Amino acid sequence: MKIGDKVRFLSETGGGVVAGFKGKDVVLVEDEDGFQIPTPVSDVVVITTEDYSMKRMVGSGKQNAGQEQNAKNGMEEEERSSVRSVKSLLGDTGSFEEADDDPSDRPITYHKKQELKQLGNKLTVSIAFVPGDITKLDSTPFDAYIVNESGYNIHYLIAAREEQAWRFVAQGNLSPDSQKLITTVPHDSLNALDVVAVQLSAWKEEGLFLLKPAVDARLRIDPLRLMKTGAYAESPRFQTSVLSYSIVKDDVVARPVVVDRDNLKADMYHKDSVKVTKKENHETKRDDGTIVVDLHADELLDTTEGMDAADILQYQMDTFNRIMKENIKNSGQKIIFIHGKGAGVLHAAIIHELGYRYKHCRWQDASFQQYGYGATQVTIR
C-alpha cells in the first residue's frame, strides 16, 4: 500500500485515497471533499492501486497485442490482490513513511466527514441546565453543561458575577459536537449565578478552517425560570428535558441586558422611539386572584434586536404602569411584579414609581419560596 491507492473502510461505509502515513499504524485517507481522516491501518482495505509505470506502458500505444494482453492480465491480478487486509501489507517494506513521533503515545480522535459536513462552519455553543429531578424543580440541584454543537474545538472560561467582581466557575477544552459537565449547582445557590460571563476561542485541529473571533458573552440566569416546568425542552443529548441558554448561535453572540446604572437615566430621556415586537399573555392570575407579571425582557418581547438597555427598561416600565393603571381602582388587589435580581436597576425604577405615582399602595418583597430573589408584591389600596 502506498500514497495514491484507493481504499475503503472496513467498519463503516466510505473510503478515499491514501494521502500519507503517520508511523506504521495510522494511514491518512483523503475523502472526496478533501478531508484527511486518520484511520488505523487495520480498518481499511485497498481496492485500487495506482501503478504509474503500467499507465505509461498502456497509454504509450507502442505495445503489441501480446503486451497489451499481459498488461490487462497484470491489472486484473493486481485488483484481485488489492482486497487483502491492510494488515497483510505491513510486511511490504518501503510502503510507509516513518514519523518522528509514535502515534501510539497519543489517542486517535477524529470525526466522520459526514458529521462534519452537517455541522458546517458556524459556531454554536450553549449552556444547558439539567435538573436532578424535574418533578421537584423547587428543591432539586441542577447540573450545568457546556454544549458545543459546532465542528470546531473550543476553549472556554466561565465566571459568575459577585458584586462588582467575578468568581471562577470552570475552564477547559471541548471537542466538536460534544458536551461537558461544568458544575453542579445546589438549589439554594442558584442566585449566585444571576449573571454569568463566558469567553470562548475556537479552532480546528486538521485542515483549513475559518478563523472565528473570540467570544465574550454575558448570560442572565433567572432562578425563577429554572423552576418553571414549561421552560424545559427535550434534547437528544440528554435523557431528560433541559433549559438552554445560548452563548453563540450560528456565529451570532448572545447579548443580554447588562445595565450601566450611571448612564441609564440620561439615556432613557434622550432615545428615539424604536419598534418592538411584544409577546402576549405575559401576565397570569393565581387561584387566589393575585396577578403575576413577569417583567423580564425575554418574557415581554419576542426580540430585543435594535434595542439597548434603556429601550428595554422603558418598555418594562411602560408595562408596569399599564398594569397598575388597569387595576388602580381594584382595592385589595395583589400584583406580583417579577423583575429579577440582576443589577437592580429595574427594581429601583419600580420602587421609584411606587413612591412617586402610587403612594397610596403598599408594597413589599414577594415570597422567596415562590419567586426567588427579585420579585415585588404590590397591594392596591
Residue 255 is predicted with a pLDDT of 63
Residue 12 is predicted with a pLDDT of 76
Residue 256 is predicted with a pLDDT of 52
List the one residue out of 147, 369, 111, 115 whose CA is nearest residue 236.
147
Say how far apart CA 201 and CA 211 lie, in whole Å: 10
Whether 8 shows a pLDDT value over 60: the answer reads: yes
Residue predicted with more confidence, 300 or 150: 150
Residue 188 is predicted with a pLDDT of 84
Question: pTM above 0.75?
Answer: no
Residue 73 is predicted with a pLDDT of 57
Among the residue ranges 59-63, 66-70, 275-279, 299-303, the one predicted with the least confidence is 59-63
Whether 271 shows a pLDDT value over 60: the answer reads: no
* Residue range 52-106, pLDDT digits in tens: 444 443 444 444 455 555 555 555 555 554 444 434 444 444 444 444 555 455 4
Contact 113, 206 (CB under 8 A): no
Residue 152 is predicted with a pLDDT of 94
* Residue range 179-193, pLDDT digits in tens: 999 999 998 888 777
Residue 69 is predicted with a pLDDT of 57
Greatest Cα-to-Cα distance within the chain, rounded to the nearest angstrom: 112
% residues pLDDT > 90 (the chain): 26
* Residue range 217-258, pLDDT digits in tens: 988 888 878 888 888 999 888 988 999 999 999 988 876 544
The helices-and-strands tally (H runs, E runs) of the chain is 9, 21
Average pLDDT over residues 142-169: 91
List the one residue out of 156, 233, 228, 162 whose CA is nearest residue 191.
162
Say how far apart CA 317 and CA 325 lie, in whole Å: 12
Q: At what angle do helices 309-327 and 345-356 cross, to 10 degrees?
A: 40
Residue 282 is predicted with a pLDDT of 62
